[in-house]
Amino acid sequence: MIDDEDEGPVRLLSVHAHPDDESSKGAGTVALLSDRGVRCVLVCCTGGEVGDILNPAMDTDEVKADIAAVRRRELARAAEILGYAEVLWLGYRDSGMPGMEENEHPGNFANAPFDDAVARLVAIIRRERPHVVLTYPDIQDGYAHPDHLRVHDVTIAAVRVAADSAQLSWAGPRWDVSKLYYSMWSRARVVATHDKLLELGLESPYDEVWFTRPWQDFRITTSVDVGAAYDRKKAALLAHATQIAPDSPFWFALPDDVAATVHPFEEYHLARSTVPVELPETDLLAGLRATTGATVG
């Protein structure tokens, strides 16, 4: 329970690796929680400097020369659309996908001293005092980007250290996060989208490789219906113009009205809770009770 002395709105902190991750993971959840008065803050660990430009219309020398600034602006716009109250940068460089030259850069998130990254996030947690934290899963077999793996490791450590008054006293009084979630990408979503595309006579971007991935649907504890936030999710994705083409068959193969209703869920694994919960659940705030500020539920 959120105790009586904990004033102000319910607070959520989401930790992501690169600009655009916030729009593809948990975006609808954040949009709907911000509608309910929850203060949502985004931590972006890297500047996404190494990401390819995936939209041919944006693949110009001008954009490439200024990619870090362009991606910051894209993120600011997406965060505004989704209702994030604030965007915080953890201050690291994009590590790139395995095998890239950029892997060696000393300023990379993946190369940075682990304790330093944890300390930066602990300071944010103790200042923001989130009830709910969203991060990436412990198992990421489908898309093992070094920065995504590190987001998980750093978040888990920071949540634990933030609650320990014996550690990092300079970072403020201890704070115990009530609920910690991993955002999941389900096979059920891929199958539902694939089947609907075929039913409508459209081409599916999903091939056999997708269906034989090591999926973790059995770990999903929490399914949030975000159909009502579909337009904002789409607009936030499109705000990342260098990363997401408006005609992307992966993101936008279905007509909008269909896409909004086919498997309209964002799914999570509740990894840790200090409040009583009944699983499965449909609301990240289940079990929390705000006595002041935003209403919950």
- Least distance to Zn ion from the beta carbon of 31, Å? 19
> What is the amino acid identity at position 80?
E
Residue 110 touching Zn ion (CB under 5 A): no
Contact between 22 and Zn ion per CB under 5 A? no
Q: Does 237 bind Zn ion (CB under 5 A)?
A: no
Among 18, 150, 194, 269, binds Zn ion (CB under 5 A): 18
When CB distances to Zn ion are compared, the closest residue is: 18
158: its two tokens: 């920071």
Question: Quick check: 59 and 272 in contact, CB under 8 A?
Answer: no
Going by C-alpha positions, the residue among 153, 42, 50 that lies closest to residue 107 is 50
Of the ranges 13-21, 24-32, 205-213, 230-238, which one interacts with Zn ion (CB under 5 A)? 13-21
Q: Which stretch binds Zn ion (CB under 5 A): 9-17, 38-46, 85-93, 279-287?
A: 9-17
Q: Which is nearer to Zn ion, 18 or 269 (CB)?
A: 18
Please give the Cα distance from 236 to 31 (Å, whole number).
10
Q: In what order do the strands lie in the sheet with 132-135?
A: 86-92, 39-46, 11-16, 132-135, 179-184, 265-273, 222-225
- Do you know the residue count of the chain? 297
Structure tokens at 166: 């014996």
Query: Cβ closer to Zn ion: 44 or 220?
Result: 44
Among the residue ranges 4-12, 21-29, 217-225, 271-279, the one whose residues contact Zn ion (CB under 5 A):
21-29
* 240 touching Zn ion, by CB under 5 A: no
Q: Answer yes or no whether residue 21 interacts with Zn ion by CB under 5 A.
A: yes
Give the integer Cα–Cα distance in Å for 297 and 284.
10
Residue 120 found at the interface with Zn ion (CB under 5 A): no
Which position has the token pair 């059995």?
218
Is residue 15 within the footprint of Zn ion (CB under 5 A)?
no
Rank residues 23 and 29 by Cβ distance to Zn ion and give the closer one: 23
Q: How far is the CB of 218 from Zn ion (least distance, A)?
A: 25
The tokens describing 33, both together, are 């929680």
In angstroms, give the least distance from the CB of 153 to Zn ion. 15
Nearest to Zn ion of 154, 288 (CB atom): 154
Residue 79 identity (one-letter amino acid): A
Q: Is 71 in the site for Zn ion (CB under 5 A)?
A: no
Verify binding: residue 177, Zn ion, rule CB under 5 A.
no
Judged by CB under 5 A, the number of residues near Zn ion is 3
Q: Does 17 bind Zn ion (CB under 5 A)?
A: yes
Residue 152 found at the interface with Zn ion (CB under 5 A): no
Span interacting with Zn ion, options 19-27, 188-196, 198-206, 212-220, rule CB under 5 A: 19-27
18, 22, 25, 28: CA torsion to nearest 10: -170
Q: How far is the CB of 175 from Zn ion (least distance, A)?
A: 26
Say whether the peptide bond before residue 19 is cis (omega within 30 degrees of 0).
Answer: no
Between CA 210 and CA 165 the distance in angstroms is 44
Residue 206 vs residues 20, 22, 195, 250, 254: alpha-carbon distances, Å:
21, 22, 10, 8, 13
Interface residues toward Zn ion, by CB under 5 A: 17-18, 21
